[in-house]
Amino acid sequence: MAQPQSLICKGCWQNMHVPIALRGPLSVPFRIAGLRPSRMNPNTCTLCELMFKRVMKATKITIDATILFADLRSYTELSQSMSAASMGGMLDVFYDECAGAIWDHDGLLNKTIGDAVMAVFNFPIRQADHARQALLAAHEIQRRVRARKAEAGLDFGVGIGIHCGELSFGEFGRSHRDLTAIGTVVNTAARLQGAAAPGEILATEAVRERVGELMQGSVGQPTSLKGFDSPIMLYRA
């Protein structure tokens, strides 16, 4: 069930206590000033996205956050036999369902690259239970994709990886500024996604500890991941 769209930017409200109107007649002066709903999350504004430095008084901040990676499986294989138009249609469905699920849980759809999506939970909208919200979004993505798959007769599955902890969030690059998150937490989440089977959600110990009953009974499996010296405990969520 989709959340109603917010009338003011939740990010600016939480971080600066400034009400930026996103919708309705009060939004007109903001739109003229170039402030619109962000494409990364329609309940935040382009100020959150484009003027991170001005808002946060730093180019990069260290935050505790949750990262979710989801990707369409068999995309490389399919791209060799399917037409670009069919592949495009499949991506549209995938991006839209991921966006809906992520935004329902106040996450930021930070990146889409080819067959993968990366989301950040806990910025710009703050959430005490960001790991839990990310996991709920992950289940929602799997549910939505299964429904669309059955409906459209399309054959695809989605693999999801989730990890949480301290990471660096902000603007990277000077000439090409880009708002994103980096650090081991991000790389680990990406590797988990790579290790997930179609339809599966893999999470770390750190996530399991924070989501309470949602992952009760899930048994860890020590798994070697590329680029990591020692095996990491992975949990099916």
Residues binding a second copy (CB under 8 A)? 34, 39-40, 42, 60, 62, 75-77, 79-80, 84-85, 87-88, 91-92, 95-96, 98-100, 103, 109, 111-114, 118, 166-168, 170, 172-178, 180, 182-184, 186-187, 190-191, 226-229
Tell me how far apart the alpha carbons of residues 87 and 165 are, in angstroms, rounded to a whole number.
Answer: 34
Residue 47 or 215: the one with the smaller Cβ distance to a second copy is: 47
The nearest distance, CB 219 to a second copy, in angstroms, is 26
Copy the structure tokens of residue 227: 């680029």
Residue 14 or 180 having the CB closest to a second copy: 180
129/148 with CB nearer a second copy:
148
Min CB(6)–a second copy separation in Å? 15
CB of 118 to a second copy, least distance (A): 7
If you write DSSP's letter for every residue of 138-183 in order, what string do you get? HHHHHHHHHHHHHHHT----EEEEEEEEEEEEEEE-SSS-EEEEES
The least distance separating a second copy from the CB of residue 227, rounded to whole angstroms, comes to 3
Residue number with CB closer to a second copy (38 or 211): 38
Please identify, using beta-carbon distances, which residue of 13 and 172 lies nearer to a second copy: 172
Classified as helix, coil or strand, 76 is helix
At 60, which amino acid appears? K
Nearest approach in angstroms of CB 35 to a second copy is 11
Strands, E, within the chain: which ranges? 60-72, 108-113, 116-121, 158-172, 178-182, 201-204, 221-223, 232-236
Question: Residue 30 is encoded by which pair of tokens?
Answer: 């903001």
**DSSP per-residue letters across 180-206:** EEESHHHHHHHHHHHHPPTT-EEEEHH
Q: Would you say 28 or 182 has its CB closer to a second copy? A: 182
Minimum distance of a second copy from residue 66's CB (angstroms): 16
| Gap between the Cα atoms of 158 and 148, Å rounded | 12
Q: Which CB, 166 or 205, lies closer to a second copy?
A: 166
Tell me the helices (H) and strands (E) count for the chain, helix number first. 9, 8
Token pair recorded at residue 15: 């971080």
Task: Supply the minimum distance, in Å, between the C-beta of residue 163 and a second copy.
Answer: 12
